[in-house]
Amino acid sequence: MSVKLNDTALTFARSLATKGKVVRDERDDWSEHAPSADAENKFVDKEGWDEYARWHLGIDTEKPANTKGRYSFPFGDFTKLHRCAVISLESRAAQNDHDDIATASKNLLKLIDDE
pLDDT in tens, 6-61: 999 999 999 999 999 999 987 788 989 999 999 999 999 999 999 999 999 999 99
User: E strands along 3-107, which residues?
Assistant: 3-5, 22-23, 56-60, 71-74, 81-82
* Among the ranges given (23-32, 57-66, 105-114), the one the predictor scored with the smallest mean pLDDT: 23-32
Residue 26, domain extent:
3-114
Q: Are 104 and 5 in contact (CB under 8 A)?
A: yes
Say whether pLDDT at 2 is over 90. Answer: no
Give the pLDDT mean for 79-87.
Answer: 96
pTM here is: 0.93
Q: Are 78 and 39 in contact (CB under 8 A)?
A: yes
Say whether pLDDT at 95 is over 70. Answer: yes
Domain count, the chain: 1
Q: Are 3 and 57 in contact (CB under 8 A)?
A: no
Residue 65 three-state SS: coil
